[in-house]
């Protein structure tokens, strides 16, 4: 059974659901479904069609980590073009306000500390957030005035891309917490400068532990459907766990964990671990006061029975 990650360098114009569909199509064409039956496939964090870059796609048992991937921090590069604000806050929208102000890079850099650390931001009206049972973007497209509440996010770092010296637009790199809207960040930075702006380029450079160096193109993915080995593009399940420590278990301990039993008397620091038997992941576990409890078990072969 294929269990692991395909890190797709998603192109502009392709939605995250379409990207998952592309993976399923290639698995089907490669005979994976015929050999193994239905293989679960899911993505680890939506990436807008306008954006490109790192989109982790989980297969099999790795889909159990999709929720954790959604909660992970992300790294983005994005370009803000000054002079106009659009209703979608990006290139796809219609211009709703214009300004002659074109801040210089030094002025932009001076306001960035105001947008670093814990901040409050109002999500874009054109977002997938639910408003009274409907997606905000559906209400906005219907012509409704969508009012969304500000919410707290964290901008871990925010800086101008080295070499930027333009005034019409500027490219920034931001390391952000889950729930951060880059389009809102761009809007607020522009307004803080007495200007208006919208996003013209958005690229995800990292999602949790996965970086763009690990990502494959859509063309490379399509080679799988034409007979290329899946192993050429599939990262192991544990590649999604490299940011937390591993905990080695003996055969009896691994059997107990697979059965969901609590282990006690373990001399390890409290926290989140991934437990393994040899090199095979057994479970995502929590340690507290020497006791181990299972957060998420993995049904992988060659684990001690």
Residues with active-site annotation: 48
Query: Which two tokens mark 273?
Result: 């671990």
Q: What residue has token string 């559906």? A: 138
Buried b (16+ CB within 10 A) or exposed e, 258-296: beeeebeeeeeeeeebbbbbeebbbbbbebeeeebebee
Q: Count the Cβ atoms, other than its own, within 10 Å of residue 207.
A: 25
Backbone φ and ψ for 185, nearest 5 degrees, come out as -60, -45
> Does residue 221 contact residue 22 with C-beta atoms inside 8 Å?
yes
Residue 304, Cβ density class (10 Å: 0-12 exposed, 13-18 middle, ≥19 buried): middle
Query: Which two tokens mark 269?
Result: 């620091």
């Amino acid at each position: 059974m294929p269990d692991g990650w395909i890190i797709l360098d998603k192109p502009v114009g392709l939605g995250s659901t379409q990207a998952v569909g592309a993976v399923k199509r290639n698995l089907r064409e490669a005979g994976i479904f015929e050999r193994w039956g239905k293989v679960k496939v899911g993505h680890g964090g939506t990436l807008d069609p306008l954006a490109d870059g790192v989109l982790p796609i989980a297969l099999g048992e790795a889909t159990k980590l999709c929720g954790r991937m959604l909660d992970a921090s992300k790294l983005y590069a994005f370009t803000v073009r000054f002079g106009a604000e659009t209703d979608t806050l990006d290139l796809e929208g219609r211009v709703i306000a214009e300004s002659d102000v074109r801040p210089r890079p030094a002025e932009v850099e001076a306001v960035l500390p105001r947008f670093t650390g814990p901040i409050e931001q109002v999500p874009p009206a054109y977002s997938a957030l639910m408003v009274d049972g409907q997606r905000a973007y559906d209400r906005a497209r219907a012509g409704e005035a969508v009012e969304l509440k500000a919410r707290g996010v964290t901008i871990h770092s925010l800086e101008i891309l080295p070499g930027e010296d333009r005034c019409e637009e500027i490219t920034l790199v931001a390391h952000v917490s889950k729930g951060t809207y880059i389009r809102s960040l761009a809007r607020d930075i522009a307004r803080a400068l007495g200007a208006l702006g919208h996003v013209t380029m958005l690229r995800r450079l990292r999602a949790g532990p996965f970086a763009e160096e690990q990502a494959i193109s859509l063309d490379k993915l399509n080679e799988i459907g034409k007979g290329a080995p899946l192993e050429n593009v599939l990262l192991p399940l544990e590649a999604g766990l490299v940011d937390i420590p591993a905990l080695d278990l003996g055969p009896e301990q691994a059997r107990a964990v697979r059965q969901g039993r609590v282990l006690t008397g373990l001399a390890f620091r409290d926290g989140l671990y991934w437990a393994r038997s040899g090199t095979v992941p057994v479970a995502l576990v929590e340690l507290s006061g020497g006791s181990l409890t299972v957060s998420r078990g993995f049904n992988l072969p060659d684990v001690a029975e």
